[in-house]
Each structure stands twice: as C-alpha cells, then as structure tokens.
Structure 1
Amino acid sequence: MQFRTPIPISQSSHSIDYNSKIVSLGSCFVENMGEKFNYFKFENIINPFGIIFNPVSIEKIIYKTINAVLFTEEDIFFYNERWHCFDVHSDLSNSNKEDLLASLSAILESTKQQLQEASHVIITYGTSWVYRNIESDAIVANCHKVPQKQFKKELLSVDESKESIANTIKLIHSVNPSCNIIFTISPIRHIKDGFVENQWSKANLISAVHSVLNKEHYKLHTEYFPSYEIMIDELRDYRFYGEDMLHPNQVAIDYIWKRFKETTISEAALATIDEVESIQKSLSHKPFNPNSESHLKFESKLRDKITKLEKQYSFMKF
C-alpha cells in the first residue's frame, strides 16, 4: 500500500556537480538548502545581502549588483542606534555609517563577480506580500522594526511578480548567458499575513514563476524545483514541522534535500557527496580515549581522506 503521494520531478537538464559554482538567493528556506551545499562542500554562496522574501526586492538588489549601482548615504538611515538599509537584511546593519556603506559596496562587487562566474543561481521566493515605504514610495526588503505606520502593506499581483521574475532572469543572463537559474517557492508558511492570505500569496508566486518559465525563450536555462509542493503534498503532516508549526523541521529539510539530490545533483557527484559525508561524521566523532593507538590511526586515515579531497577540489576546506 502507498501511504503518500510522491511528486514526479523531472531530471535536471543542467545538473549540479563539484565543478558547479552556486549562488543561492531569497527566503530563509534557501538558507536551509544552502547549508546542505555547505555541509557537502559544494562551492556555494548564500544570500550575500541577507534573507529577502519577495520578487521585487530580489530584482532590485540584483539590478544594483549587475549595474554596479553603489549604495549612498541616501540609501541608509539611523534607527535604534544602528544604520540600516531598506534593500538588505538587518544582519548587515551597523553602528557605523561609513562601515555599513563600505560593507555594502564590497558585497556588491563580490556578488557581481559570483553571478558572472555562477553555473547555477537558486532563487527561493517566500511571499507576495510587500511593504511600501510611504515616504519614498519604494518596496522594501526589510522594515528593520521601523513603526508600521511608515509603510503600506500590499500584495504583488501575478503580473507584477511576473515582470520582476523576467527582469531578474534578464539581468543575470546579461552578464552570464549560460547560467542555469533554479526557482522554487518556500514551503515556510507566512501565517502572520493570515491563513487565506498566505495561500493567496503563494498562489500568486507559483502562477508568476510558471508563467515566466513556460515562455519559450526562458526554457533553456531555467528550471523549477517543487519545494513548496513536496511539503504540502508529500509531507502533509504536522510531524514534519518545527515547534512553531510553520517552518519545516530537520526531517522535512533532509527529505526535500534528498529529492533535490535525486533530480538535480549529477550521478558523478554522488560518490564525492558520500565521501564528504563520511569525513564530516568522522570530524564530529568524540573519542573515548583521544590518545589511544586506534584513535590515532583513525585520525591519520581521516587526514589522508581530507588531503585527497582538498587536492582534487581546491575550494574544499574542512
């Protein structure tokens, strides 16, 4: 008997291997997947500008990056003893204005190079709900706990999201025409917006992404991975959620990664993944007797394994 409904996922036309260079952008779920890439020692950059949830804000930061539009004093503001920028996450906020601007400029420069060199960009959208700053009339990526009266909450329409997604693809391909872009919708439920409103938001994102990806001139280097659908259909049980009942727990994250690995990671990379995992588990091993002969032999073999992999892949560091 079959007790779940597995989602059929097509094999990727541009699979990821250990020669791939990956840039992951978007909601906090992209960080869950990015941590998997890091654990298995792929060459991966995760959210250089911090977590960003909506298509418009992701497009805006990629536009600044690709076109080298530097941040200026007009782009930042002082609140609660720190300098912030509405276009990036509060993790980048700084108590020093000059340090914030210098940091943002450095990230712009490094991210442009990473996008130019990337074989794959993974973009995860979290929500269609956005906040528009009333004073500037601009959609923000992060409100930085500024009073809500300074913003107007809006739902991006399917057409507005479609335009942003299409622009994002064009921007990336303007500097890297062969880059494969994988889109996915975050399975994290944004219940603060409301139960019906969360579904409305996800529906708009799903409609927008597929409307763009189904256009003939975008099909060659774009793909969709059904993270949201796996969570809703294959893992339709609260035992796959964290304590907040909103975020996927580690079992769910591991399962979604398994489906991703089966369909998007090349077969040639699987042996290396297993080798890396073996090393990672060995590194976390706590010996009963660190000075014993058996443990010293264990450490010697482990060092040999690490040396072999680091020679084969110069970017790997354990």
Structure 2
Amino acid sequence: MNLQTQLPLKKETRNPIDYKSKIVLLGSCFSENIGNKLNYYKFQATQNPFGILFHPKAIENLVTKAINLEMYGEDDFLFKNERWHCFDAHSSLSTIDKKELLNNLNTTISSTKEKLETASHIIITLGTSWVYRYIETNTVVANCHKIPQKKFLKEILSVDEISESLEAIVSLIQGINKNVTLLFTVSPVRHLKDGFVENMQSKSHLIAAIHNVINPRNSTHYFPSYDIMMDELRDYRFYAEDMIHPNPTAINYIWEKFVATWFSEEALSTMQKIETIQKGISHKPFNEDSDQHKQFLNNLEDKKKEISKQFPFIKF
C-alpha cells in the first residue's frame, strides 16, 4: 500500500554539486537551513551576505549593487531603537555604530561581487511576493526594522513583476559569470501574517514567475522545496510548534531530496566521511583518560588529515 505521492525528480548530471563547487545562497530563511547543511558537510558555501532576504526585489537589489559596486554612504542609513539600520539588509547586520555599519556593508558589497563572479552554483530561495514600500522615499525595502507600519505601503508583486526581477538577476549574474548554474526554489515557510489566502497567492506568484524564467539549456533550474512540503509532507507533524516553519524532520527530508538530485556520487562518498568526523567531534566520552578514548581521538585525527589532504580548504 502506497500512502504517499512523491514528486518525480530528475538527477542532475550536467553540472552536479561536488567539493570543487563554490556555492552562493541568497534569499529567505530556508536558504539558511540548506546553507547550514552545506557548512556542516564542509562545502565551499557562502550564505546571505546581507542577511535573510524574503522577496525577489531585495535579492535583485543586492545583486545589482554588488555587481556594479554601488557603495553606501552614511545618508543611506536610519537610526531606530538605538541601532543603525539599512533598508537593504536584514536587522542582523544592524549596529550601534554608524561607521561600522557603513564599513561592513561596503566590504560585503565587494566580497559579494567576487563570490558571484567565481560561483559554480547560486541557489536563490524566494519567500514571499509581498513587499513593503517606504512612503518617504517610495522605495521597496528588504526589511522594515520594526518601523511603524503606517510609514509603509504593503503591495504584492505580480507574476510579471517577479519574472522581470528574476530575469534581471539572471542577466546580471550571467553577465559576469557565464558558467554559473542558477537554481531557484520557493521557501516552504508559510507567511501566515499576510493571511492564509494571501500566503497561497504569494507563493503562487513566485512559482509561476520562476517557471517563466527557468530554462535548463540556459543553466537555470527549479528545485521544488515548497512542492515537496505541500505534497509529500502534507501533515502537521512535519511543522514546528508554530505550525509555520518546517521542523527538523521536514528540513532533513527536503535536504535528502536535494542531495539525491543535485550532488555527484563522489560528493556523497566524501559527505559520509565528513559526517563520521563531525559525529566523532561531538562525541562525549564516559572517560576522557581511557586508552580506548585516546585511540578514538587518534583515529579521528587520521580521518581529519585524510580529508584535509584531499581538500585543503576543509577545516574542522
């Protein structure tokens, strides 16, 4: 008896992810989940240099500024709740010192351009079609930084607007990196603060727009994170207590699907070795002074050296 429908996923053979890959992740908080997995397995991955970005306009803005090296000035920031903020970045980058924020963002702009130029794979996770426009400057912001909502207009991006934004992102990146593989996905996190119906409308706009843009012959692809959550994991036991975010079981399930689809066989073998090392590092012995534990540590060091010899960039 089959109690689950499964999405048919085709194995990527043209440009799979391996340990030579240089990966950049941009977008909503689900990209953080995938990025954390990549970091655990010691891939060369950079995630969200401007922090979590929920909608396509925010990602387009970052890519545009980075590629054109558009630097910030002190007039681009605002002071709220005893911290300096930038509307283009997540509040995790906010600081109490204005010059520190200026230096951090401009340094990040430069480093992001370098990462985009050298990336083999760029994974973009879209979270929502809803955006907030700051009335005073008539600009769409990436983060409202808890400024009163009356200072913003809430809008939903149309499918055409999102398609145009994604096309701009693809064009900009491929203009400086013609060999990159771009992988779009939609976050399975439910944005219920927008409303139940509004959340579904938002996700629908994102999915429709992505399918307007992707073309495997142009190295642009779609990975169905949202689709897997909605179809294969259609049960509240796969959600966290807030009933909004996928729980660790769901994240691991989608990660396994992603790995099976996009990772090379050689990478899978190395991942198993690294997982053994990571579990060994976190192991807590009953007796640290025992001969058995000392032998365990020696074996663990040998495994680390073997991996580091093969991949010098890997550090434990």
TM-score category, normalised to shorter length: over 0.9
In structure 1, distance between residues paired with 2:26 and 2:211? 18
1:290 aligns with 2:288: yes
Q: What does 1:9-88 correspond to in 2, within 5 Å? A: 9-12=9-12, 13-88=14-89
In structure 2, distance between residues paired with 1:32 and 1:210? 23
In structure 2, distance between residues paired with 1:299 and 1:168? 47
Superposed CA RMSD: 0.8
Shift of 1:106: 0.6
SS of 1:122's equivalent in the other structure is strand
In structure 2, distance between residues paired with 1:28 and 1:264? 20
Shift of 1:74: 2.3
Mean Cα deviation higher: 304-313 or 246-255: 304-313
SS of 2:132's equivalent in the other structure is strand
In structure 2, distance between residues paired with 1:284 and 1:119? 31
1:317 aligns with 2:315: yes
Shift of 1:268: 1.4
In structure 1, distance between residues paired with 2:73 and 2:174? 26
SS of 1:219's equivalent in the other structure is helix
Letter in 2 for 1:260: F
Cα deviation digits, residues 177-200 of structure 1 (max 9, x gap)? 110010000000000000000000
Aligned position for 1:112: 113
Q: What does 1:248-259 correspond to in 2, within 5 Å? A: 248-259=246-257
TM-score, scaled relative to structure 2: 0.98
In structure 1, distance between residues paired with 2:10 and 2:163? 23
In structure 1, distance between residues paired with 2:72 and 2:217? 33
Unaligned 5+ segments in structure 1 are none
In structure 1, distance between residues paired with 2:312 and 2:110? 23
1:278 aligns with 2:279: no
Q: What does 1:1-318 correspond to in 2, within 5 Å? A: 1-12=1-12, 13-214=14-215, 219-318=217-316
Unaligned 5+ segments in structure 2 are none
SS of 1:6's equivalent in the other structure is coil
In structure 2, distance between residues paired with 1:91 and 1:310? 32
Mean Cα deviation higher: 5-14 or 16-25: 5-14
In structure 2, distance between residues paired with 1:220 and 1:272? 29
In structure 2, distance between residues paired with 1:18 and 1:306? 15
Mean Cα deviation higher: 68-77 or 58-67: 68-77
Q: Percent identity?
A: 55
Runs of 4+ in 1 over 2 A off after TM superposition: none
Shift of 1:308: 1.1
In structure 1, distance between residues paired with 2:313 and 2:160? 41
Shift of 1:219: 3.4
Letter in 2 for 1:93: S
Mean Cα deviation higher: 234-243 or 305-314: 305-314
User: What is the aligned length?
Assistant: 315
TM-score, scaled relative to structure 1: 0.98
In structure 2, distance between residues paired with 1:168 and 1:315? 29
SS of 2:62's equivalent in the other structure is helix
SS of 2:18's equivalent in the other structure is coil
In structure 1, distance between residues paired with 2:163 and 2:186? 14
SS of 1:77's equivalent in the other structure is strand
Letter in 2 for 1:282: G
